[in-house]
Structure 1
Amino acid sequence: MTEARAVVITGASRGLGFASAVRLYREGWRVVAAMRTPERGMPLLREAIRRGGAAEDPARLVGVRLDLTDPASIAAAAKEIEAVVGAPYALVHNAGISAAGTVEEADVELWQNMFETHVIGPVALTKALLPGMRAAGEGRIVLVSSAGGVRGQPGIAPYSAAKGALERWGESMAGEIAPFGLGVTVLVAGTYDTDIITDAGTTDDRDFGGPYARLHTTMNTRGRFAMSFARPPEKFTDGLVRVLEDDRAFRRRGIGPDASILLAANRILPASGMHQVSRIVMGIPRFGAMRDGVWPLTVAQRAMVLATKVLPRPVMNRLAEIATKRAAARQAAQQEGTGNG
């Protein structure tokens, strides 16, 4: 029998990494699941695999401790990977953290942590594993990016900057390792229902009472609406399985309809056009609209102002009553959910 090909997946304890580890194990791969706390994450992985009906084979699912912000942890993980599976066929850089807040609000420490997790740590792990992969003469390195890596997105500048750097690193490396039979794929992930936003390690520096409150309020509302259309992480793995069979030197591919549309628009529209699209989608006021402390009204607020001019007072009073009751009901539901959690 042909020995199963080995794949290393970082960030395998949750979200896209977790789903990818389960899927590739079921597809017959030898999976090295790299995570900060294998003692907590590996039992969950094994349980998910059992629930899916796959036969258990301890030799095909290996947990490795990895902290991408700790050089010693990276070096130890690379040695353990080589000791267990030798040179892996594929290395999937999926581990990531998220943060919300403007450039003015975000601490420099957050920027450092973001780049260590998304760029510096993955580079160090790749450097450690590349000699063996290069000697094997085949393999693929997959870098999981997002919309923030395609275009700089407002409100998440550290994340966008790190993902953009990740993509540029992948493009550079592809030209260097292609002659040795190795390829690079950048996967631009769309909106998936993962816990990266709600994870305890996520940083939220947004000040809803500060100068950027108008932006945060609108972007938060629209972001929550977009998340209502999020796809399950398992859908992401369909694309991952396909790209691991790719034999091109470099490929950049959107996983999910929103990511594919963004990539297509980015190729067609100039930078100024993409900036305006992003501004409109996120509900950010036009250039100069907030000078001198002005608070521009949202579309909904403008509609309410117009309604007060057109509708009779009794009707407005009734609508206000209904709105107040609904707001109270929503607040009660949120408090109940918090209490249950």
Structure 2
Amino acid sequence: MGSQRSVVITGASRGLGFASACHLYRNGWHVLAAMRSVDTGMKALRDATGAADDDPRLTGVTLDLTDTGSIETAAQTITAAVGAPHALVHNAGISAAGMVEETPTSLWERMFATTVFGPVALTKALLPEMRRTGRGRIVLVSSQGGVRGMPATAPYSAAKGALERWGEAMAAEVAPFGIGVTILVTGTYDTEIITDAGTTDCRDLAGVYAPHHATMDKRGRAAMRMAARSPEKFAAGLSKALESTKPFVKVPVGPDARMLMIANRLLPAAGLHQMTRLMMGIPRFGALGGQSNG
């Protein structure tokens, strides 16, 4: 199957995955773009890159991370196309807003299926061939929520935290076979996932958490406008990360992610909690005590 470097990118039809697929294709990689809607997603990728319909370096892979059968078929498609991929980038994800009381259990289940359970299943299906080949890098795209649990995004933060712990554990297991693991902690990027259109909104803006939502929404939108960077900058960071030869590495991609990782190392947990509360304008401890649900 030749010496062409190959990379599997999940969630390649939009956002960071789309930008990364375009960037790596332009840099000579064979990109296996995994997504739910291959027809529309591949058309967009070909339009953006100028790739022909039969270009062997741009392969569409149908993948629904919440469907076991889809994962198995996707793994077979990948193995048939390239054998063991040089890199497997777990980028696909969903976003949700709402307090723990406001978010339904079904949302938690879908969040973990997309962010943890599906990626684990796909990795397990591809690892045997990667072990036999004796090389490869598995990249887990985390976020600031994986470093520190953020209010109003508990399911997202919990899933990203689980993703990171999985990566840390797996790294020691697969390193003897020549397979490295990278965790990328992303900052804020200008993609659909940070907008209302890209987020499952479970917030009750008239409920008991209204004082939280009113301030957090205003401050959050302002912070995103100031901090959001182009997805192409993330793609460049991913491209650099794929060159690593270390068995395990965890690196930030973006200045805000870098600052949070530094703060997380330097500040005690209680101090970081207070800093987060003040930045987001959340009422002080006990301020809303005794309020009813009605």
Q: TM-score, with normalisation over the residues of structure 2?
A: 0.96
Give the corresponding residue for 2:94.
97
1:112 aligns with 2:109: yes
Q: CA deviation at 1:213?
A: 0.5
* Cα distance in 1 between the residues matched to 2:166 and 2:81: 28
Match of 2:69 among 67, 72, 79: 72
Question: 2:17 aligns to what?
Answer: 17
Q: In the alignment, what sits opposite 1:239?
A: 237
Residue 131 (structure 1) aligns with: 128
The CA RMSD measured in Å over matched residues stands at: 1.5
Inter-partner Cα distance in structure 1 for 2:187 and 2:153? 16
1:29 aligns with 2:26: no
Distance 2:283 2:175 in 1: 45
Contact 2:146 / 2:158 at 8 angstroms: preserved in 1?
Answer: yes
**Which of 149, 154, 179 is equivalent to 2:151?**
154
Please tell me the residue identity of whatever aligns with 1:280. L
Deviation at 1:293, TM superposition (A): 3.7
1:189 to 178, 186, 191: 186
What code does the residue aligned with 2:173 have? Answer: E
Distance in 2, Cα, partners of 1:149 & 1:61 = 31
Summarize the alignment of residues 270-309 of structure 1 with structure 2, pairs less than 5 Å apart.
270-293=268-291
Amino acid at match of 1:10: T
Residues matched between the structures, number = 290
- Mapped partners of 1:101, 1:58: distance in 2: 43
Q: Deviations over 1:262-303 (max 9, x none)?
A: 011111111111111111111111111112349xxxxxxxxx
Deviation at 1:211, TM superposition (A): 0.2
Partner of 2:248: 250
Find the counterpart in structure 2 of residue 164 from structure 1.
161
Determine the C-alpha separation between the residues in 1 that align with 2:195 and 2:151.
19
CA distance in 2, matches of 1:180, 1:132: 11
Tell me, yes or no, if structure 1 residue 208 matches structure 2 residue 208: no
> Over residues 72-124 of structure 1, what are the superposed CA-to-partner deviations in whole Å (9 max), with x where a residue is unaligned?
00000000110111110000000000000000000000000000000000000
Cα distance in 2 between the residues matched to 1:201 and 1:35: 16
Equivalences for residues 260-339 of structure 1 within 5 A: 260-293=258-291
2 CA distance for matches of 1:149 and 1:205? 20
Q: Secondary structure at the match of 1:59?
A: coil
Counterpart contact for 2:142–2:160, Cα < 8 Å: yes
Deviation track 1:304-328 (CA, whole Å, cap 9, x = no partner) reads xxxxxxxxxxxxxxxxxxxxxxxxx
Q: Deviations over 1:34-60 (max 9, x none)?
A: 00000110000011102xxx7887100
1:60 is matched with 57
Q: Identify the match of residue 141 of structure 1 among 138, 142, 163.
A: 138
Q: Going by fraction, where is helix more abundant, 1 or 2?
A: 1
**Does 1:176 pair with 2:173?**
yes
Q: Within 1, Cα distance between the matches of 2:279 and 2:202? A: 22
SS in 1 for 2:99: coil
Query: Structure 2 regions of 5+ residues with no counterpart?
Result: none
Distance 1:208 1:202 in 2: 15
Specify the structure having the higher radius of gyration (Cα): 1
Q: Equivalents in 2 of 1:135, 1:20: separation in Å?
A: 27
2:192 aligned counterpart, secondary structure: coil
Normalising by structure 1, we get a TM-score of 0.83
